[in-house]
């Protein structure tokens, strides 16, 4: 139901995403995985309409996200949620108002109803009783859970997760991963999860897309990714430094750099 057609994005001279076709299935969890700099966050931001593609189209049903009016875009977004990598809580509002924000903005519900809904979401993320804290008073893990509660506050049909577990302790990461899986299944949500957490990605996803240097190198259900005989895929899954994906990004000779051969190291004069 969400389709990217020959999507590409260029930042200056850097090709962050080479022309890519992508298909996101409705009601399923799609994990977009890859190392840092592989273009996965760029792809997510393109799909969410936060970034305009250099070329290509993004189809939501039969509407092209790049061609519709702002008004229609915002209408579509009322049914979307997004969990940002650094939570992106509005720092002038406390926890309660952050979670209630989309409800205050887009519904005419009575405050008591909103209160009940916010409490339910906070209970889901285990933070009931913390409504009055300000974002600056929260730990990273707590902020992310609040952001999760906010992302699903409107019971959206599509939720984007940008690195939901990065920077979290194992327990918080596990809780967030379980929350994504549970709420997606329960609410028949379309979830798009960008992560470099291989275990989490493979365990909850129905469909996995593996990116490397702005290209899709593998795609399919988790089992097919695990069974892939592509060296690059295996290297990524196992986290080995040696393989077709070079760990070192340096292009000059290590020996030359160490021995200060002229012409190799540019010294500041």
Summarize as ranges the residues that interact with other proteins (CB under 8 A). 48, 50, 70, 74-75, 77-78, 80-82, 84-86, 88-91, 101-102, 105-106, 150, 160
Q: Which two tokens stand for residue 13?
A: 């001279």
- Residue nearer to other proteins on the CB measure, 106 or 185: 106
Q: Which two tokens stand for residue 161?
A: 């997760």
CB 50, min distance to other proteins, A: 5
- Residue nearer to other proteins on the CB measure, 89 or 237: 89
| Contact call for residues 211 and 32 (beta carbons, < 8 A) | yes
DSSP state of 57: E
- Residue nearer to other proteins on the CB measure, 63 or 256: 63
Q: Which residues pair with 57 in a beta bridge?
A: 5
- Residue nearer to other proteins on the CB measure, 70 or 242: 70
CB 217, min distance to other proteins, A: 28
Angstrom distance (rounded) from CA 265 to CA 259? 9
- Residue nearer to other proteins on the CB measure, 54 or 85: 85
CB 33, min distance to other proteins, A: 21
Angstrom distance (rounded) from CA 95 to CA 166? 21
Q: Which residues pair with 60 in a beta bridge?
A: 2, 63
Angstrom distance (rounded) from CA 36 to CA 122? 31
Angstrom distance (rounded) from CA 204 to CA 193? 10
- Residue nearer to other proteins on the CB measure, 91 or 223: 91
Torsion of CA 186, 196, 98, 89, to 10 degrees: 180
CB 141, min distance to other proteins, A: 17
DSSP state of 89: -
CB 86, min distance to other proteins, A: 6
CB 152, min distance to other proteins, A: 12
Size (the chain), residues: 269
- Residue nearer to other proteins on the CB measure, 4 or 156: 156
CB 114, min distance to other proteins, A: 12
- How many of the other CB atoms lie within 10 Å of CB of 69? 8
| Count of CA atoms in the C-beta half-sphere (13 A) of 54 | 15
| Contact call for residues 236 and 244 (beta carbons, < 8 A) | no
């Amino acid at each position: 139901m969400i389709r990217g057609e020959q999507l590409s994005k260029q930042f200056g001279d850097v090709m962050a995403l080479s022309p890519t076709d992508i298909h996101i299935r409705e009601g399923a969890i799609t994990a977009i995985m890859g190392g840092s700099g592989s273009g996965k966050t760029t792809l997510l931001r393109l799909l969410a309409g936060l970034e305009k593609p250099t070329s290509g189209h993004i189809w939501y049903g039969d509407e092209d996200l790049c061609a519709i009016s702002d008004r229609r875009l915002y209408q579509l977004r009322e049914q979307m949620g997004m969990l940002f990598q650094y939570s992106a809580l509005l720092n002038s509002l406390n926890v309660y108002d952050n979670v209630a924000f989309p409800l205050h903005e887009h519904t005419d519900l009575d405050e008591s109803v909103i209160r009940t809904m916010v409490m339910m979401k906070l209970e889901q993320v285990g933070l009931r009783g913390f409504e009055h804290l300000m974002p600056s008073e929260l730990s990273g893990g707590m902020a992310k859970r609040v952001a999760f509660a906010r992302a699903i506050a409107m019971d959206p049909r599509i939720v984007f997760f940008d690195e939901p577990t990065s920077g979290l302790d194992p327990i918080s990461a596990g809780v967030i991963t379980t929350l994504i899986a549970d709420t997606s299944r329960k609410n028949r949500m379309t979830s798009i999860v960008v992560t470099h957490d291989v275990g989490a990605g493979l365990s909850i996803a129905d469909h996995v897309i593996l990116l490397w240097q702005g290209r899709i190198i593998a795609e399919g259900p988790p089992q097919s990714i695990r069974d892939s005989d592509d060296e690059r895929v295996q290297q990524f899954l196992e986290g080995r430094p040696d393989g077709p994906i070079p760990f070192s990004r340096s292009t000059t000779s290590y020996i030359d750099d160490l021995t200060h051969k002229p012409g190799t190291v540019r010294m500041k004069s």
